[in-house]
Amino acid sequence: MDYKSDIVIIGAGAVGVAIAREFAKYKKKVMVVDKRDDVGGDASKSNSSIICSGFDCPPNTLESRLCLASRAMIDKVVEELDIPFKACGAIMPAFTQEQMNLLPQIYKEAYENQVYDVEYISAKQILEMEPEVNPDVLGGLYIPRDAVIDPFLFVVAEAENAAVNGVEFLLDAEVTDIHVIDGRVRSVETSKGMIETCYVINAAGLFCDEIARMVGEGGDFTVKPRKGQFYILDKNTPCKTSRIIYPIPTPETRGKLLLQTIHGNMLLGPTAEDLEDKDDHSVTAKELEEVEKDCKRLVPNIRVQDTITQYCGLRPNRIPAGFHIGFGEKTEGYFGISGVRSTGISTSLGIAKYVVHLFGEAGISLERNYDFIPIRRGIERFSEANDKRRAKLIRENPLYGRVICRCETVTEAEIVEAIRRPVGAKTVDAVKRRVRAGTGRCQGGFCAPKVIEILARELGIPVTRIRKNLIGSDMLSGMLRKEKEVL
């Protein structure tokens, strides 16, 4: 099957989807292509869920500018798109005199980044704010506007809103080539067909160097995966913090942090391991032990024995480092984005505005779409409703009366809506990211079979074709009885 679009965005992570939504405000036909089963990319769905104020970005850089711009926009966007968000603030405690001596430079760089509300705080103030912090603390910094978000719903909500406003999404579609004729982009070849287009925006993250080489660009950089491993603890773990707890960074890494996610779990990590294999998503006992050791220096009573899962993300580490955003030097119609590593979620809104601005500056016609709809409403959470509201929901839709995921109290109604929405869930993990079925203590041990059945019914396909995520990740290997008997 062949397609036609004014702009093709390669990569459906936080950056690509934010750009798509921004272009939906103009009369342009936009298509987002990704080889994965769902929006969210790699790093965008396996990160620390932080929205940074930009205090610790390299000063006087494009990254710093875009992080600052994004933080100024995020409050409005999460309200428009109904995304769980909490501006909880962060503390960076120091435990040695050597660490205390580093605080003035961090404070100075925050000021250079125009994050003027970072403040020095005493050991007493830190322990009053966060009693679980190591009592050996000598002092630290308070960063009041750093926040936590649901990173899955952040991307999903933007994608749903972009789709409502006319953006097309082509998923499970690997880009295999980009055709250039007479020095200009003409089409994008994918595993699902050819897309005729005038402009390609490369937001492929970990694979942006490979996409760049398809058009003869990107010869001056490579991208290596930097693995970050995390712990997720049960919501009932007794030791929690209400703010993000940052370590003092080193020249090599920002270190391992602790935070309470938007849904109440404690998150610990990440590691920083430079790899060659872009498909290595393994977690290892050795590295997770380092996470535990480093986090216990910050918060001694944290209990990793309360872990319900571990996971890792691969950050696209550009060599040489730094944000590079702009039109290609050799190929007309090609626009590249590289170097977006740890702050992709935090800078995505600013990047989207910046990309559209550069298109306008290049003389590309951008006629405003004044019919753009900025509002999206999320799926109502049965778990968060009071008894009166729950009774009303069940009266209006009996599927709210069927709890599928007991750990997170997720109902069949929520799962069905997640599947039926624009850019809806088509795999078990896609359901998980939208409504949290399978994110609790049992990690899907109870609800996964029912989720598979619901997906098969709603998508009109056999249960044997339901996948965990990527092509080849079938949840079932075959049938012992006739399918109609199982269903």
User: What is the phi-psi region of residue 193: left when phi exceeds 0, alpha when psi lies from -120 to 50, beta otherwise?
Assistant: left
Q: Answer yes or no: pTM beyond 0.75.
A: yes
And the tokens for 80?
Answer: 């428009």
And the tokens for 238?
Answer: 């007794």
**Distance in angstroms (rounded) separating the CA atoms of residues 147 and 259:** 10
Position of tokens 């970990």? 206
**Distance in angstroms (rounded) separating the CA atoms of residues 446 and 440:** 10
Instruction: Answer whether 70's CB lies under 8 Å from 349's CB.
Output: yes
**Distance in angstroms (rounded) separating the CA atoms of residues 307 and 284:** 14
Burial 107-135 (b: 16+ CB within 10 A, else e): bebbeebebeebeebebebbeebbebbbe
The answer to whether the bond into 270 is cis (omega within 30° of 0) is: yes
pLDDT tens-place values along the chain, 487 residues long: 799 999 999 999 999 999 999 999 999 999 999 999 999 988 777 789 999 999 999 999 999 999 999 999 999 999 999 999 999 999 999 999 999 999 999 999 999 999 999 999 999 999 999 999 999 999 999 999 999 999 999 999 999 999 999 999 999 999 999 999 999 999 999 999 999 999 999 999 999 999 999 999 988 999 999 999 999 999 999 999 999 999 999 876 789 999 999 999 999 999 999 999 999 999 999 999 999 999 999 999 999 999 999 999 999 999 999 999 999 999 999 999 999 998 999 999 999 999 999 999 999 999 999 999 999 999 999 999 999 999 999 999 999 999 999 999 999 999 999 999 999 999 999 999 999 999 999 999 999 999 999 999 999 999 999 999 999 999 998 877 765 544 4
Instruction: Answer whether 325's CB lies under 8 Å from 212's CB.
Output: no
CA distances from 94 to 130, 303, 463 (A): 14, 22, 53
Helix 344-361 vs helix 62-81: angle between axes, to the nearest 10 degrees? 100
Element containing residue 8 per DSSP (H, E): strand 7-10
The pLDDT, as a whole number, for residue 486 is 44
**Distance in angstroms (rounded) separating the CA atoms of residues 372 and 50:** 28
Position of tokens 């590079």? 324
**Distance in angstroms (rounded) separating the CA atoms of residues 259 and 252:** 21
The pLDDT, as a whole number, for residue 254 is 81
The pLDDT, as a whole number, for residue 215 is 97
**Distance in angstroms (rounded) separating the CA atoms of residues 170 and 202:** 15
Residue 397 backbone dihedrals phi, psi, to 5 degrees = -150, 100
**432: number of CA atoms within 13 Å, CB side?**
19
Binning the chain into helix, strand and coil, the percentages to the nearest 5 are 35, 25, 45
Given the DSSP bridges, would you call strands 193-196 and 244-245 parallel, antiparallel or unpaired? unpaired
Instruction: Answer whether 145's CB lies under 8 Å from 101's CB.
Output: no
And the tokens for 81?
Answer: 């798109």
- Alpha helix (H) ranges present in 261-312? 285-298
| DSSP at 183 | T
Residue 239: partners with Cβ closer than 8 Å, 6 or more residues away: 132, 266, 299, 301, 302, 303
User: What's the sign of the alpha-carbon dihedral 271, 273, 278, 281?
Assistant: negative
And the tokens for 335?
Answer: 């626009």
CA distances from 131 to 100, 300, 424 (A): 20, 11, 42
The pLDDT, as a whole number, for residue 482 is 64
